[in-house]
Structure 1
């Protein structure tokens, strides 16, 4: 784990210490994303079936890993944003153990997203996911692509953009159709679903579900890992991201 974080943070010892601290601390401070998210739980197995979070097998010529994120259930009643975010970070947990590319490209496919899905992604739930991304993994993200975006994607963007740091905001690209991604990512990397040469999303998802099972011991161990903030020598200082500490539920987003 330490070696992985050192590589991810360009061997900066101080940055690595901070990221490792946040890696464990946020499991305590943001339980909505981490508690009851073990892949072996029945509801999380359903999440893995219906929500594709798939790091593609081949890397780009720049050495970046492309990850496709695509909920496939068009019924908003079956969508829980915290379960979805939890599944995303379960996949990232595996990648920390075995995959260290030069960067990440995230592709969010909104084909089956209804307005009801987006309305469930409240400012607080999105903020908490962004906290984890920026406090632990932000140095990896080189581009974010939204594809198959509906007209009401503006609702989500109005929540998301103010929460992202300027660097990530500049790397967020919105496309109405899926074929636009072929202009950004090589065909040989993309799944058949997008006109690429790789296995289909369904086939790749089955492989990743098997990998989640292979790491079951790790997820069981993580269930027990929490920090005791009372023992921290210096209390966490509120900042633009951890400003929720102690009063997060009072967060307002215009």
Structure 2
């Protein structure tokens, strides 16, 4: 079972990223269309899956699986299957015009940093962990908005699809209330989702401006990350540590850069979010239905890092 939102638009890569895709992701440009068609045909034969079927969506999973069709099938299945294990994030508020989502975007808690056109490095997101009122927002609300921009990123950010992405968690202004609000188990589950199901590759999580109390307590928080992610996490109290991860010219003025202001980024993010309004409305109907899953060798064992087994989003079937 699947939707019919097909698109024939395959965005060409710039020369440097195309070279990386060929050398590191096994991409064969002349074969992309046929690989997408094969993956789409498989999805259309799966009675338990209702998936986005646009070319760019499917291409992101092919690149995230180094063009192994079997791995791409597995990852898309897990993408929709594991979402139901995180209802705090994937719920009815995950819409472009949800008032809470818009308020979080306008506060600049999450900043998607625009890179130069010829930059071949990973995509960059800054999360300003101390910039929200924990009495008004829960950590899961912030993660929800981050997941929406992560989904937009995987469909249209070529750096993220080819070179991966990094997250900078700015701990400036963080209070004890912010630290208590971090919800380590949710952080653990969402990190596992990002590792197991997202097609974009997480290259690092870097904490900057970390208070001493956080640095000393980080060892216990680190235990909640999947093993692969643990190796990609760093913590620093130095605000200049951001320059080790992101070129200064790509950062807004508030971070010592020269590419506009945070408000410029916020305005662009809001416009981008609204351009995906129909997509997020439609995505409410994407998911898996265990009752319709065919238990054969072609389908996927649903064990995961956080122990999900046999739990699926139910679809309303007209």
TM-score normalised to structure 2 length: 0.70
SS in 1 for 2:172: coil
Give the structure 2 partner of residue 33 of structure 1: 89
Q: Is 1:100 aligned to residue 158 of structure 2?
A: yes
Name the SS of the counterpart of 2:97 in structure 1: coil
For 1:82, the equivalent position in structure 2 comes to 140
Of 207, 212, 217, the residue aligned with 1:146 is 207
Shift of 1:85: 0.8
Matched with 1:47 is 104
Aligned partner of 1:180 among 231, 241, 245: 241
The question of whether the paired residues in 1 share the 8 Å contact of 2:96 and 2:276 is answered with no
Give the deviation of 1:138 after TM superposition: 7.3
Aligned counterparts of 1:108 and 1:156: Cα–Cα separation in 2: 16
Q: How much does 1:9 deviate?
A: 2.2
What is the CA-CA distance between 1:103 and the residue it aligns to? 1.5
Moved more, 98-107 or 138-147: 138-147
Number of matched pairs: 246
Evaluate the alpha carbon distance shift between residue 82 and residue 74 of structure 1 in structure 2; reply closer, same or farther with a 3 A threshold: closer
5+ long unaligned stretches in structure 1: 248-254
Contact 2:187 2:225 in 1 (8 A): no
In structure 2, what is the equivalent of residue 128 of structure 1? 189
Partner deviation per Cα, 1:20-70 (whole Å, 9 max, x = no partner)? 112211233322111022131112211222243222211585431121111
Once the two structures are superposed, residues 86-134 of structure 1 have per-residue CA deviations (whole angstroms, 9 ceiling, x without a partner) of 1011001111221122121211111132111121222322222112211
More displaced, 66-75 or 96-105? 66-75
Alignment of 1:1-254 (within 5 A): 1-35=57-91, 36-58=93-115, 61-71=119-129, 73-101=131-159, 102-137=163-198, 140-154=201-215, 157-234=218-295, 236-239=301-304, 241-245=305-309
SS at match of 2:115: strand
Pair 187,44 (structure 1): closer, same or farther in 2 beyond 3 Å: same
Gap regions ≥5 residues in structure 2: 1-56, 312-318
What is residue 250 of structure 1 aligned with on the other side? none
Q: 1:74 to 1:32 in 2, by over 3 A?
A: closer
- CA distance in 2 between partners of 1:121 and 1:237 (Å): 27
TM norm structure 1 = 0.86
CA RMSD of aligned residues (A): 2.4
After superposing on structure 2, the runs of 4+ consecutive aligned residues of structure 1 that deviate more than 4 Å are 59-62
Query: Which segment is superposed worse, 28-37 or 57-66?
Result: 57-66
Task: Name the one with the larger helix percent.
Answer: 1
